[in-house]
Amino acid sequence: MKITILDDYHDTLRTLACFDKLAGHEVEIWTDHVQETEQLAARLKDTEALVLIRERTRIGADLIARLDKLRLISQRSVYPHIDVDACTRQGVIIASNMQAGAPSYATAELTWGLILAAMRQIPQQMASLRAGQWQSGVGSGLRGKTLGVFGYGRIGGVVAGYGKAFGMTVLVWGREASLARARADGHAVASDKAAFFAESDVVSLHMRLLDATRGIVTAGDLALMQPTALIVNTSRAPLIAPGALVAALRAGRPGMAAVDVFEAEPVRDTGNPLLTMANVVATPHIGYVTREDYEIQFADIFDQIIAYGAGKPINVVNPDALGIRRS
């Protein structure tokens, strides 16, 4: 089978133990990122199975229509970047393990790293030292402060545990099911959304991006945060209303942000406000990017290809595509 892998920026996948699962197949790996339909169509013209790394490349109807040999898209997690209806019409199977029961410890660990980096001003202190200066300011500790976890799911629950280990009070907000889990784990639940933002010294967002959660954090919510507070987003940028975060940081409420996600990725514009503001710590969507997490993710992704090749597709998102033969 001809398998193509897109957006493997550092040519990492072939170095993983799970890559051996693809032995005997013809595998082509692209390490750069392109989004233009013409370029993608040329690269994928002979591809039968396409491997996507999360949401790095959008797969639209115009592209799908031009890929006559494509039979399978294999990936992991959510798929807002794929035109599912177009794939179904064309008989292209989408296989994606939603890993509903497994926490992403890699993302939780990065979240905590960003919290520590922002509160203790680690990037600023490093820049000062490299510039031949000594201490550049005074950071803030975490013990005794309130960690607000917005969305108490498989990642939010792990982050809450880290907060407790650091001596923080954990305050949770989200859907009723999230609140029930938080109560069962012994955490406090905010009286309402406004109280959650007003009372949290650190707010960390841990929700899937759905129609119901898009823009769920509003400018008004951010304005309730304290000038000393920090908001952290390692989930998805559009959870915050467009433009609201930059405006809030400029207004001083909250006083800091730490982000791993952006509205348009990859970010190439060095003038992006989130990259130039002194009160922001930013990383390039690396929450899930560890060798250990890659082994778990791509073992699933490659197993989906093997199952398809054996005539028994698994984790099929669009089962209606199974009965459609591509000409």
Catalytic amino acids? 236, 265, 285
Residue 184's Cα: distance from chain center in Å? 27
Instruction: Say how far apart CA 121 and CA 156 lie, in whole Å.
Output: 23
Give the containing element (helix H, strand E) for 27. strand 26-29
Instruction: Write the single-letter amino acid at 84.
Output: V
Instruction: Say how far apart CA 255 and CA 150 lie, in whole Å.
Output: 18
What is the secondary structure of 44-79 as a DSSP string? TTT-SEEE--TTSS-B-HHHHTT-TT--EEEEES--
HEC letters along 234-254:
CCCHHHECCCHHHHHHHHCCC
Angle at 200 between CA 194 and CA 206, to 5 degrees: 85
Quote helix, strand, coil % in the chain, to nearest 5: 35, 15, 45
- A 10 A CB-CB count for 102 gives 11
Would strands 256-259 and 230-233 be described as parallel, antiparallel, or unpaired?
parallel
SS3 assignment, position 269: coil
Per the omega criterion (within 30 degrees of 0), is the bond before 319 cis? no
Query: Residues 96, 317: contact at Cβ < 8 Å?
Result: yes
Query: Residues 8, 289: contact at Cβ < 8 Å?
Result: no
